[in-house]
Amino acid sequence: MTYTYSLKTHNREEMIDITSYIQESVESSKIEEGILIVYVPHTTAAVTVNENADPSVRKDITDFLRDKIPKSKEYSHLEGNADSHIKSTLVGSSLTLIIENGKLLLGTWQGIYFCEFDGPRNRNFRVKIIEG
């Protein structure tokens, strides 16, 4: 089963909690045991798992990436978003997660985040669920 979700980002760089979309996919699938893949088909966006209890963690991650990979550096890529491509490569375009007893297996404080590095844009991501 594959699910496609759309979202609108509002800032050049932001992390959007998409955990509820992923949980919705698991519930809709009715699969009790399996794996789930979240895939972002964009070269300037990514997906990650991290703490979702304290929103300052998202800010710290975004600030760190912005500091270490600045937009203002002179890059060879001429579109003005080379930093976004580098950030998405480092964070990654996909996740593999476990479904157990019909539930997404996440740690107590974990959430799933869509990472925008070249917004605002209309984006999408896909969720593939494999039973087994």
Encode pLDDT of 51-61 as tens digits.
999 999 999 99
Domain that holds residue 73: 2-131
What's 54's domain CATH number?
2.60.120.460
**How many independent structural domains does the chain possess?**
1
Please tell me the predicted confidence (pLDDT) of residue 29.
97
Please tell me the predicted confidence (pLDDT) of residue 82.
97
Please tell me the predicted confidence (pLDDT) of residue 73.
86
State the average pLDDT over residues 9-19: 98
Cα 26 to Cα 127: distance, rounded to the nearest angstrom: 9
This prediction has a pTM of 0.95
Pairing of strands 94-100, 103-105: antiparallel
Q: Give the residue from 29, 92, 28, 18 showing the smallest Cα distance to 52.
A: 18
8 pLDDT higher than 90: yes
9 pLDDT higher than 90: yes
Q: What is the pLDDT of residues 47-91, one digit of tens each?
A: 999 999 999 999 999 999 999 999 988 899 988 999 999 999 999
